[in-house]
Structure 1
Amino acid sequence: MEQRKRAETAASEPQIWLNSVNRKNKTALIEWMRHSNISLVQVNGQRMYGAPPPGWLGDAPPHGSEIFIGNLPQEIYEDTLIPLFQSVGKLYEFRLMMTFSGLNRGFAYARYSSRRVADQAIAQLGSYEIQPGFKMFVCRSTEKCELMLDGLPGFMDHTVLEDILVKMTTGVETVSLYASLTSDMKNMAIVKYNSHKAAALAKKSLCEGNRTMYGCLFTVDWLQQSVRMKLQSGMLAKPNFFLPQSYNKQVTPEKFTPNAVECLHLLCEKLKLGQPVYQIKFLRHGNCGWLRFSYWVQIPKHEVPFTGYAWLVGDKLIPTEKYQQAKEMVALRIMKELEKSWGPLFLNSGYSWS
């Protein structure tokens, strides 16, 4: 029954796609795919051919073999583009960036078998007029492979962060942790991927949904040149590490695993608010293992309950672990809200999570 449903869904997808704009060219593309026996796969806003193509033997092409193609008419597709770029040499991969309506976004990437063939494509097609008034812009792809995540919590160490990123994205090569350049007591990670495609897909996945990690909002961007220069010159500081003050006197940082639920418990006890009651409901899976959940938390002597939605990485966790991680995130959020409400009294209590 499940296989039948998937088959029916797959069969209906071309018709759904055709019912939107640019129907004539979409029909032509589907016919070309049938006759040429070429398969295209659409993932996260880009449609891909190859990687590797049929009959490819050996490793992927070296760095420098990818080109960037710009100034494309939005209504043309791979049935025009792939044969054109294959006329220069063997393609390992072709990626066309797509909009939700089914038009292309005006640019694409093509990876050839070698850097030499990529140079030939740049020379031959760099000013090719693909349609009247549309001269393509073709140059070597920068092939950015490094992302910068800023605003990460100071209590999350390198091992935990790397484990999260490996679960959320693919192609992670290295993860380096440094003190944030923009936020006190926060950290910044530089994540290197094994290809530009992997890094671009990771950037898109990380930017989707609620960008929080253990309750801290973080930003995702390509590694900036100014930060790269500081990295190369050794000017980036070691990562911050901070814990609630009440624990620092009792436990060494090496042995302490931060527990936001326990911190909130102690805080409510100190402020005489009563103990929190949690209600957490898991709603659905998101991309790359994200779990979306809603929460409702009542603290007896606080005027209104705390409610909202959040995400966590949890597709491989058992139910008790999912629930505990969700509570951790919610507890961090509540402490931030209490800090806003209670001000100096909160700070004097020895807990600060901003």
Structure 2
Amino acid sequence: MNIRTDSFPNVNEIPRLLELQKKMGFEFIQSNGQRMFGPSPECKGSTPPKGSEVFVGKLPRDCFEDELVPFMEKVGKIYGTRLMMDFSGTNRGYAFVMYRNPQDATRAVKELNNTEIRIGRTVGVVKSVDNCRLFIGGVPKNKSKEEIIEAMSKLVDGIKSIILYNSLHDKTKNRGFAFIEFDSHRSAAMARRRLLYYKPKLWGYEVAVDWAEPELEVDETVMSKVTIF
């Protein structure tokens, strides 16, 4: 796959990125303000489990994948990266890096957080909030789960399921809100961005959109101390 120069305004970085692409066998895709590198060829068709992604902040604005990838691979093989980009060709100061397993992501937080990616420039590394669920408010109370899925699927991609609660006083109606579960955090993030930007109406009503509270994950060390009776 060739890298188009119109996608990468900073022509000085192209040779370095082509070299990295050739070495790792990954592909570059730029879309909606982010540049995706990956997934690794041997991992295509399978997505790492939840908890495998980290957020990397405080990146130098002229830091790209040829510098980011070797730094992050000090603790384990990566599945892919998402570098947030400006139209000027510089990055926006942060990226998401997905490892092949949650254990390496945990190591990255412990070993790479507050360390130097280059002399005098430290980065912050924390676990990414791997939230795949959006809250949709302002849903007409007479709409069913099937009707909501059908309407939302015309607007966004990646919908996996929907959670809809019945009214306490009238079981034939919903409570005016729903939770939409997506097949990945990226799908949920893209859907949220699209819905907030275009502000589409459902059945003539404007709906509210935001992240649902992420599910709490119990630490493995805590789980190991739980006694099952």
TM-score category by the smaller chain? 0.7 to 0.9
Matches within 5 A, 1:174-323: 174-178=161-165, 187-224=176-213
Relative contact order: is structure 1 or structure 2 higher (C-alpha 8 Å, sep ≥ 6)?
2
1:28 aligns with 2:22: no
Flag the 1:146–1:24 CA change in 2: closer, same or farther, 3 A. Answer: same
Q: CA deviation at 1:162?
A: 0.7
User: What's the CA shift string for 1:71-109, capped at 9, x where partnerless?
Assistant: 111221111111222232121222112223332221111
RMSD: 3.1
Q: Which runs of 5+ in 2 are unaligned?
A: 168-173, 217-229
Corresponding residue for 1:15?
A: 5
Paired residues of 2:5 and 2:11 also in contact (CA < 8 A): no
Paired residues of 1:151 and 1:186 also in contact (CA < 8 A): no
**TM-score for both structures, normalised by structure 2:** 0.77
Q: What letter matches 2:65 in structure 1?
A: E
Flag the 1:144–1:187 CA change in 2: closer, same or farther, 3 A. Answer: same
For residues 198 and 116 of structure 1, the distance between their equivalents in structure 2, rounded to whole angstroms, comes to 23
* Structure 1 counterpart SS, 2:4: helix
Paired residues of 1:177 and 1:188 also in contact (CA < 8 A): yes
Q: What letter matches 1:211 in structure 2?
A: P
Q: CA deviation at 1:219?
A: 2.2
Flag the 1:121–1:187 CA change in 2: closer, same or farther, 3 A. Answer: same
1:169 aligns with 2:159: no
Q: Which runs of 5+ in 1 are unaligned?
A: 1-9, 230-354
For residues 99 and 7 of structure 2, the distance between their equivalents in structure 1, rounded to whole angstroms, comes to 29
For residues 163 and 206 of structure 2, the distance between their equivalents in structure 1, rounded to whole angstroms, comes to 19
Paired residues of 2:115 and 2:123 also in contact (CA < 8 A): yes
Corresponding residue for 1:47?
A: 35
**TM-score for both structures, normalised by structure 1:** 0.52
Greater Cα shift, 137-146 or 170-179: 170-179
| Structure number with bigger Rg | 1
1:125 aligns with 2:112: yes
* Structure 2 counterpart SS, 1:74: coil
For residues 207 and 102 of structure 1, the distance between their equivalents in structure 2, rounded to whole angstroms, comes to 25
Corresponding residue for 2:125?
A: 138
* Structure 2 counterpart SS, 1:14: coil
1:62 aligns with 2:49: yes
For residues 209 and 12 of structure 2, the distance between their equivalents in structure 1, rounded to whole angstroms, comes to 38
Paired residues of 2:162 and 2:178 also in contact (CA < 8 A): yes
* Structure 2 counterpart SS, 1:63: coil
| Higher share of residues assigned helix | 1
1:76 aligns with 2:57: no
For residues 212 and 190 of structure 1, the distance between their equivalents in structure 2, rounded to whole angstroms, comes to 17
| Count of aligned positions | 210
Paired residues of 2:7 and 2:30 also in contact (CA < 8 A): no
For residues 45 and 140 of structure 2, the distance between their equivalents in structure 1, rounded to whole angstroms, comes to 42
Q: CA deviation at 1:139?
A: 1.2
Flag the 1:212–1:126 CA change in 2: closer, same or farther, 3 A. Answer: same
Corresponding residue for 1:87?
A: 74
